Amino acid sequence: MTTQPKKRRGRTKLRRRVAGLLALGIALMGVGALYSVLVPEPQTAQAQQDPVMVREGAKIYNNTCISCHGANLEGVKDRGPSLIGVGEASVYFQTSTGRMPAVAQSAQIPEKPRVLSPQEVDAVSAYVQANGGGVEMPEEKGAALRGEDPARGGELFRFNCASCHNFTGRGGALSSGKEAPALDGVAEEEMYAAMLSGPQNMPRFSERQLSPEEKKDIIAYVKSVTDGNNNPGGSPIGGLGPQSEGFIAFVVGIAALLGITLWIGAKH
């Protein structure tokens, strides 16, 4: 009689402990499961590139970019802006067109022969993308970035781009010594990267503002009017529209007529 309660007490103690442990375990697992279900994916930039490439990019960055953009992409006052959030599209555009690394501070960093090789450009892009995040390059390359409908691209170009780059991509002046460059010889990837990242004073065009298809149509249009594709008359005379054409027709035409008149008169 006396042992029975004791025994039962011992059993219940063990059972309580086991049950307590089990409850704790279940509770912990439940919390863990709930946590993983409820807590959203972290919004921080994630390194998804090849780590070897990122390391390679870090090396190049520390050799060529660090003095103006800082050790942690944070920028250096009065020298260069922060690169956090600019993304690989921006790095791709700036370095593959030779604008970066820059030689000197000026109203606008000019285009020049590229300093970094394509592999180095990819590596630095990967490094900046891995550490700062931002807009990424499209998957397609080259002619795959030309859309189906250059006519619609032309409409979009005139609405969004022509005010600075001229109707046929001849470029034009901006304020205080800056300029919108001519679009001759600009690669498809560079155009796409420029639209995405808004280099220097160019506005940015996100994928929601101009969809990838619209961007590709714009590229198709630009390609159809640049690189000598738009001079059915033999010479585009600057491609600036009626002003230059009228001026040259007037000057050359009047001079020729004067010459002929003088020639006719001189013969007699």
Partner 1 sequence: MSRDELVKLGSKLDGVELVEYPDPWPVKGTRAEKRAERMVAFWFALSGLAGLAFVVAFIWWPAKYVAPDEDGHLMYSLYTPVIGLTLGVAILAVGIGVLNYTRKFVPHEIAVQERHDGGSNELDKATILANLADAGNRSTISRRPMIKRSLAFGGGVLGLALTALPLGSLLRNPHAQSDNKDGLIHTPWQHTKEGEKVFLRRATGTDEVSLVRPEDMDAGAMDTVFPYREGDTAHDWTKMLLRGDSPVMLIRLRPADAARVIKHEGQEDFNYGDFYAYTKICSHVGCPTSLYEQRTNRILCPCHQSQFDALQYAKPVFGPATRKLAQLPIAVDEETGYFISTGDFIEPIGPAYWERKS
For the chain, what is the largest distance between any 2 Cα atoms, rounded to a whole number of angstroms?
154
Residue 132 lies near partner 1 (rule: CB under 8 A): no
The residues that bridge with 80 in the sheet, in sequence order, are 76
Backbone angle region of 136, left / alpha / beta, with phi > 0 → left and psi within -120 to 50 → alpha: beta
Candidates 40-48, 58-66, 72-80, 208-216 — which segment interacts with partner 1 by CB under 8 A?
208-216
Q: Could you say whether residue 176 binds partner 1 (CB under 8 A)?
A: yes
SS3 258: helix
Least gap, CB of 22 to partner 1 (angstroms): 48
Rounded CA separation 12/92 (Å): 70
**Applying CB under 8 A, which of residues 159, 247, 252, 261 lies at the interface with partner 1?**
159
**2 annotated ligand binder:** no
What amino acid is encoded at 94 in this protein? Answer: Q
Nearest one of 124, 135, 116 to 209, comparing CA atoms:
135
Report if residue 214 touches partner 1, rule: CB under 8 A. yes
Name the token pair of 258.
Answer: 């004067």
Q: Residue 56 or residue 214: which is nearer to partner 1 going by CB?
A: 214
Query: Which amino acid is located at 169 in the chain?
Result: G
Contact 93, 103 (CB under 8 A): no
Considering only CA atoms, give the Rg of the chain: 32
Under 8 Å between Cβ of 218 and 156: yes
* Interface pattern 15-54 for partner 1 (x via CB under 8 A): ----------------------------------------
Q: How far is the CB of 264 from partner 1 (least distance, A)?
A: 7
Q: CB 35 → partner 1: shortest distance, Å?
A: 28
What is the size of the binding site for partner 1 (CB under 8 A)? 40
Determine if 155 is a binding residue for partner 1 (CB under 8 A): yes
Return the residue of 99, 215, 216, 223 that touches partner 1, per CB under 8 A: 223
- Position 201 contacts partner 1 (CB under 8 A): yes
Cα three-residue angle 86-50-132, rounded to 5 degrees: 20
CA gap 260, 262 in Å, rounded: 5
Q: Is 67 helix (H, G, I), strand (E, B) or coil?
A: helix
Q: Does 181 bind partner 1 (CB under 8 A)?
A: no
**If binding is defined by CB under 8 A, does position 203 make contact with partner 1?**
yes
Pick the binder of partner 1 from 40, 232, 242, 265 (CB under 8 A).
Answer: 232
Binding residues among 83-112 for partner 1 as defined by CB under 8 A: none
Please name which of 142, 159, 136, 158 lies closest in space to residue 216, comparing C-alpha atoms: 142
Residue 136 Cβ, how far from partner 1 at the closest point, in Å?
13
Binding residues for heme c: 65, 68-69, 161, 164-165
Binding site for partner 1 (CB under 8 A): 135, 150-156, 159-160, 163-164, 172, 174-176, 178, 180, 198, 200-206, 208-209, 214, 217, 223-224, 229, 231-234, 264, 267-268
